[in-house]
Structure 1
């Protein structure tokens, strides 16, 4: 019996996973011509057609899908065995690829990454800023952080919730002088707003209980928090943002927290990873550091009363702003 070239089988699996020869070749880290040749050899050896090819698309055949369903888990097992064998080394090395929204990376991961790299000098980290949830397998990420104000949608990846990001409402003193100091959420109706791309309604919570919801049509809609912050500083609208993200601007009186007795629904941050039994040493090391760094609630410090509030209005007894973000451990 002719010897089996398992590399051809692995390339075949990658082409299925990539939905075509171009992406499959990238996943297999071979030229496209090599991927095409590997599949052709396999089809000749098996005597079956694995893919239907047209000028526009490549689609796996029914028989090809059946073979993939049986073979792909075996390669998964082999990768786990290889990862387990590599994990016996005391040195954590290689490259750890992470995708994360900007706010999570800048506000919550910096300390963890610094600590990780100090502990493991041979490790390298690639940090890609992305709001959308990526396909970890297709894009080659070891981990991805995802922010959502609802529950995480169904995923074939393992997930852990690592952070709850508190949100509140902020405006420039000039905007407050123009519209008057709001005393209740209903007073914000008619104000210009600045929000995320999917913001259509803002919830107002008092002591953790929603008491009011307001439809919004933001003047600027973007997932980029820096853009929303700059627009808020320029007085273009009231923004719903993390207290931690705007803390320095509160201290310097450039922003004021409006309705300080209210918060909004928090953003939930999850870390996603491929659902496998054995983690690469770099991933395990990072998750350990992450839990050590974020695993206890941060010290919550009241921010100094913004003197700009007194300048914006004649009311000087507004409650102090609590500038801490709520951080919980891995669960």
Structure 2
């Protein structure tokens, strides 16, 4: 019996997952020509066609799909076994890859990352800034932080809610002079507003209980809180932001909190990670440091599933 080339099988799985040789080769981290050659060898060995190829597309055959459905879970299990074996090591080393929204990284993760790197000199960290929820496996991230008004989208990854970010309402002194100081949430109805992409209404809470809400049509929508902050400083509208994020502007009198007796619904920040029985030592070390750091600040940690 011929030697089984397991790498060819793995590349075959990646081509199925990538719906083509270009993406499959990228996922397998091999040249496209190597991916094509691996699939051809496998087809010759098995005596079956695994893909229908045309000049415009590649489609897995029925037999190819059947083989993928049986083989792919085995490679997933092998990767988990490998990750578990690596996690046994007590040394925290290698590279930890993280994706996070800017505000979460700058305000909440920076102290934890500083502490982590001081504790583990052999560890390297790569942090990408994104407001989207990237695919952990496809992009090769160890941890992804997601900020949302509601809950997580359906996800097969393990998740933990790590931060609740309080929010209030802020405007420039010039805008308040022009519009008058609002006394109730309804007083903001005709104000220009600066919101994020999902803002359709703003909630007004007292002692954690919603007492009013206001339909909003922001004149500017952006996930980038820094852009909203600068627009608020320029008097372009009232913005819903984290008090902690705008504290310097409040201290300098460049921004005023309107309706200070109210808060708004908090943003929820989750951390996503591949579901493993045992996690790599670097991930475990960072989560431990994160919990210790955030637990001592004005944020709350709550275990959850996505």
Work out whether residues 160 and 272 of structure 1, in 8 Å CA contact, stay in contact via their aligned partners in 2.
yes
* Structure 2 counterpart of 1:199: 199
Work out whether residues 145 and 270 of structure 1, in 8 Å CA contact, stay in contact via their aligned partners in 2.
yes
Work out whether residues 11 and 28 of structure 1, in 8 Å CA contact, stay in contact via their aligned partners in 2.
yes
> What is the SS of the residue equivalent to 2:36?
helix
Q: What's the CA shift for 1:163?
A: 0.5
Match for residue 327 of structure 1 among 296, 300, 304: 300
For structure 2, list consecutive stretches of 5 or more residues without a partner in the other structure: none
Equivalent residues in 2 for 1:1-331 (5 A)? 1-298=1-298, 326-331=299-304
Q: Which moved more, 1:2-11 or 1:81-90?
A: 81-90
> What is the SS of the residue equivalent to 2:84?
helix
Count of matched residue pairs: 304
Work out whether residues 192 and 237 of structure 1, in 8 Å CA contact, stay in contact via their aligned partners in 2.
yes
Q: What's the CA shift for 1:87?
A: 2.6
**What per-residue deviation string (whole Å, max 9, x for no partner) do you get for residues 176-230 of structure 1?**
0000000000000110010101212111112212122212121211111111110
Between the aligned partners of 1:296 and 1:55, the Cα distance in structure 2 is: 59
> What is the SS of the residue equivalent to 2:3?
coil
> What is the SS of the residue equivalent to 2:127?
strand
Q: What's the CA shift for 1:296?
A: 4.2
For structure 1, list consecutive stretches of 5 or more residues without a partner in the other structure: 299-325
Between the aligned partners of 2:212 and 2:58, the Cα distance in structure 1 is: 51
Work out whether residues 20 and 59 of structure 1, in 8 Å CA contact, stay in contact via their aligned partners in 2.
yes
Q: What's the CA shift for 1:119?
A: 1.2
Between the aligned partners of 2:110 and 2:82, the Cα distance in structure 1 is: 30
Between the aligned partners of 2:277 and 2:117, the Cα distance in structure 1 is: 25
Instruction: Please give the TM-score of this superposition, normalised by the length of structure 1.
Output: 0.88
> What is the SS of the residue equivalent to 1:236?
coil
Between the aligned partners of 2:241 and 2:82, the Cα distance in structure 1 is: 44
Work out whether residues 96 and 142 of structure 2, in 8 Å CA contact, stay in contact via their aligned partners in 1.
yes
> What is the SS of the residue equivalent to 2:167?
strand
**What per-residue deviation string (whole Å, max 9, x for no partner) do you get for residues 21-66 of structure 1?**
1121112111011011111111121122222223333222232222
* Structure 2 counterpart of 1:317: none
> What is the SS of the residue equivalent to 1:244?
coil
Work out whether residues 84 and 277 of structure 2, in 8 Å CA contact, stay in contact via their aligned partners in 1.
no
Q: Which has the higher contact order (CA 8 A, sep 6+)?
A: 2
**What per-residue deviation string (whole Å, max 9, x for no partner) do you get for residues 276-315 of structure 1?**
22212211111111111113452xxxxxxxxxxxxxxxxx
Q: Which moved more, 1:144-153 or 1:81-90?
A: 81-90
Between the aligned partners of 1:206 and 1:220, the Cα distance in structure 2 is: 27
Work out whether residues 295 and 330 of structure 1, in 8 Å CA contact, stay in contact via their aligned partners in 2.
no
Between the aligned partners of 1:186 and 1:122, the Cα distance in structure 2 is: 55
Q: What do you get for the CA RMSD once the two structures are aligned?
A: 1.4
Between the aligned partners of 2:15 and 2:172, the Cα distance in structure 1 is: 53
Instruction: Please give the TM-score of this superposition, normalised by the length of structure 2.
Output: 0.95
> What is the SS of the residue equivalent to 1:279?
coil
